[in-house]
Copies of this chain bind each other. A is one copy, B any other.
Amino acid sequence: MNMISPLPVAAPPADSVDIPAYSASGNECALFEKAWEKRLPLLLKGPTGSGKTRFVAHMAARLGLPLFTVACHDDLSAADLTGRHLLKGGETVWVDGPLTRAVREGGLCYLDEIVEARKDVAVVLHPLTDDRRILPLERTGELLSAPPSFMLAVSYNPGYQNLLKNLKPSTRQRFVSITFDFLPRDQEIVVVAQESGLDEGAVAPLVDLARRLRSLKGQDIEEGVSTRLIVYAASLVAAGLPRPEAVMAAIIEPLTDEPEVRAGLIEISRAALG
C-alpha cells in the first residue's frame, strides 16, 4: 500500500469537529469576523499561552471554515506551505501543502510564530495578502485565486523579536493586527476549572499565584505563567498529587533552572498558598 495520495482530496478539516470553547476578553471575535468579511489577513500578537491558537480554532469552527494550522520553524520554507513534487512509480506527482489546500478549499490557514519561518515564505504570502489574493504555484504552472471564504491568519510573540528574526514592515503592513494578553482573573478560574476538572474554589489560589508570578516577568523569569501550566497544576491536584508537589512540577520547575530563582519562587508560592 502506498500512502501518498496522487491528488489532494477534500479531507475533513483537521480540528473542526466541535467548536472549541473560547472565552473572549475583548472585541477579538468581532474584529476577526469583520476582517474575514472584508477579506483582510490577520496578525495575532501575544505571549505564550495567551490563547491565540485556541482563538483561531474557535473562530474557524464558528465560521465553518476548514482549518490548516502550521507551526513555523527555522527550516520551514515556501515549499512546505505550497507543496512539492514527489516521485511515484517513476512519475513525479504534485502534493499540495497546507496553504495551497486552504486556498483550494476556501479555508483558514493559520501560521503560528510566523517570524520563525524562512524568508522565502514572504513570497507566497505577499500576493495572497494584497488585493490580488492569488497564489502562484510556479512548479505546476497554476495560478490559484483565493475564494472569498479563504483567510490567512498569522501569529507571533513580540517578546521573542530580535534583530535577525523580525517581520519586515513590507510584510507586517499587510495585516490587520491585534494584541492578546492573559484572561482576567475570574474568566481564567472558570477556564482552568473546566479544563482540569478541579473545582473553582481549589483553582482560585492557583490562578492568584500565577498572576503574582506573571508580575515578575522580565526580572527573574523570561515569560509569564501560561494558563496551560495552571491547568497542568490543577490536573495533578485533581489526580491526587499534593498541591505543593503539583505547583512545583507544573508551575515552578517549568519557569526557571536557576537555583536562586527557584528558591524565590518556592518562597512566594508558600506565602501565597499557605
A195 touches B1 (CB 8 A): no
Least CB distance, A150 to chain B, in whole angstroms? 17
Q: Which residues in window 67-107 of A have CB below 8 A to B? A: 69-78, 80, 85-95, 97-98
Stretch of A58-66, A157-165, A182-190 on the interface side: A157-165
Nearest residue, chain B, Cβ from A5: B141
| Most chain B beta-carbon contacts within 10 A, residue among A45, A48, A134 | A48
Interface CB pairs A-B, < 8 A, 26: A2-B91, A4-B139, A4-B140, A4-B141, A11-B141, A14-B143, A15-B132, A34-B240, A38-B235, A38-B239, A43-B253, A45-B257, A48-B169, A72-B123, A75-B120, A76-B123, A88-B91, A88-B92, A89-B91, A116-B119, A130-B228, A173-B229, A174-B228, A175-B254, A176-B250, A179-B253
A89 touches B86 (CB 8 A): no
- Chain B residues with CB under 8 A of A30: 241
Q: How far is B74's CA from A127's CA once the two chains are assembled, in angstroms?
A: 17
A contact set with B: CB distance below 8 Å: 1-5, 7-8, 11, 14-15, 27, 30-31, 34-35, 37-38, 40, 43, 45, 48-49, 53, 69-78, 80, 85-95, 97-98, 112-113, 116, 118-120, 122-123, 126-127, 130-132, 134, 136, 138-143, 157-158, 160-161, 168-170, 172-179, 195, 222-223, 225-226, 228-229, 232, 235-236, 238-241, 245, 249-250, 253-254, 257
Least CB distance, A274 to chain B, in whole angstroms? 20
Nearest residue, chain B, Cβ from A240: B34
- Chain B residues with CB under 8 A of A34: 236, 239-241
- Chain B residues with CB under 8 A of A11: 141
Least CB distance, A213 to chain B, in whole angstroms? 12
